[in-house]
Amino acid sequence: MRRLILLSILICFHCILKKCLCSSEQDKVLSITAMTQEQVNLLQNISSHNETSLWQPASPSHITSNTPVHLYVQSSSVTRVTELLNTHGLSFSVLLENTQELIQEQTRNSTTDPKSGGTTYERYQSLEDIYYLINKTNQEHPDMTKLILIGSSFEKNPLYLLKLSGRRGPVDKAMWMDCGIHAREWISPAFCIWFIKYALTFYKENPDITTLLDKMDIYILPVMNPDGYKYTWTTNRMWRKNRSVMEGSSCVGVDLNRNFDANWCTTGASSSPCSDIYCGRYPESEPEVQAVTKFLRAHKASIKLFFSMHSYSQMLLFPYSYTHEQIPNHSELFELVQEAAIKIRRHYKNNYRYGSGAKTIYLAPGGSDDWAYDQGILYSFTFELQDRGRYGFLLPPNLITVACNEALAAVKTIAIRVLEKL
Ligand code: ARG
Ligand code: ZN
């Protein structure tokens, strides 16, 4: 017994040294399942408060019975929240005990901390480092890349696209891929960076990437929401929206994936500035969305394929998300994502769900994929990368490689098939 007490004192002391708190005082992520409507209401109430951050679903209004809810709870509220859950008979389990440690592990930097293992691509990169990396890539591959400034964010961070092309003359087809529209989904920018590295390394080595680069230009936006991304590194790891400041509200930020002009701000979005799925004052009110739509409108004759990368939950989605109605080429896109999911299962033994957004997750209007589709980009996809909730947004760096490789397999599979159809 005395040994046990001594051990726990030591662990706490060890934690203090590492600038974290003892286990009981840490932020936690809970998985909670409501069974009755009364419990759903309580859960909606708890997850609307500031000291919690809802991981899954995206908004309290999407909470239903019998579906696990993932909730990040700040250390100071853990006791209060778990007591509330217990008195109302809600069953829950602890998904993550040690969020601070996980966050520390993800923000380690190779130059300042020798403990951060792995290469550049096996670590999460700060906004500055991503800018540095795409600039360097552009300088090292002047024959295959072009850096294009498409606009700037609310806080005036630049929005850089990297255009990838094979060593050949001009072509009339192109593909779009954006990452990091939601700030806390760190695996997403990591994937865009991974994809760029892969394409430039394996051009003329891997037949699929060679075909893609020889037949299409690929436009990549590694961080669509730079202000939000930066904020998750400096201030709040769980931030989702951009950082635009609204007159008349003390709440900050618009959900950029609710701000596109696609059945804007109907069921599945919120008109309250304090909500995580706030749609903004009007469609395309946000500079990040304006920059993307302006570029896509100007290039829509050539852009045939559209990918938007998110996390987490492992899903391959296509339009619509703003209505339960089916798109005209539903079965065609269904077959594409099905083939991609089968490939991931075969090579990586991992399961991805697939289908239209509204049917597979929830109604969510104002999204980029739906908007792109309605602009005539008929092969439009949203991917939700790893994982399924074990770590959620805090996917450890040692899982970047598998997460990116399987997503890469899905992108290549779909893009190759689409090229055959065009
Ligand atoms: N989790 C994503 C979101 O809430 C799903 C995006 C699916 N597409 C869409 N247009 N909502 O934004
Ligand atoms: Zn997202």
- State the chain's mean pLDDT as an integer: 93
Identify which has the larger pLDDT, 10 or 306: 306
309 in ligand 1 pocket by Cβ < 6 Å? no
Q: Which residues crowd ion ligand 2, with CB under 5 Å?
A: 182, 310
- CB proximity list for 361: less than 8 A, separation 6 or greater: 57, 313, 315, 317, 321
Residue 19: its pLDDT value, please?
41
- Cite the active site residues: 384
Residue 17: its pLDDT value, please?
45
* Token pair of 106 as six digits: 């993800």
Residue 24: its pLDDT value, please?
55
Strands 174-178 and 217-221, bridge-based pairing: parallel
Ligand 1: which of 369, 382, 388 to mutate, judged by most atoms within 8 Å of the beta carbon? 382
- Asked if residues 362 and 56 have their Cβ atoms less than 8 Å apart, the reply is no
Q: What is the largest CA-CA distance in the chain?
A: 75
| Closest Cα to atom 11 of ligand 1 | 364
List the single range of 102-116, 221-235, 287-301 with lowest mean pLDDT: 102-116
Euclidean distance between CA atoms 317 and 358, whole angstroms: 9
**Confidence grade of residue 98 (pLDDT, cut at 50, 70, 90):** confident
Euclidean distance between CA atoms 328 and 333, whole angstroms: 10
Ligand 1: which of 61, 185, 312, 317 to mutate, judged by most atoms within 8 Å of the beta carbon? 317
How far does CA 244 lie from the centroid of its chain?
19
Q: Return phi, psi of residue 352, to 5°.
A: -120, 135
- Per-residue pLDDT of 56-71, as tens digits, reads 999 999 999 999 999 9
Smallest CA-to-CA distance from 274 within 60, 31, 69 is with 60
- Asked if residues 419 and 212 have their Cβ atoms less than 8 Å apart, the reply is yes
Instruction: Provide the ipTM.
Output: 0.96
- The residues facing 177 across adjacent strands are 220, 307
Q: Ligand 1 centroid vs 259 CA: distance in angstroms?
A: 11
Euclidean distance between CA atoms 150 and 148, whole angstroms: 6
pTM of the model: 0.92
240 in ligand 1 pocket by Cβ < 6 Å? no
pLDDT > 90? residue 90: yes
- Asked if residues 56 and 69 have their Cβ atoms less than 8 Å apart, the reply is yes
Percent of the chain with pLDDT over 90: 88
Mean pLDDT across 237-254: 96
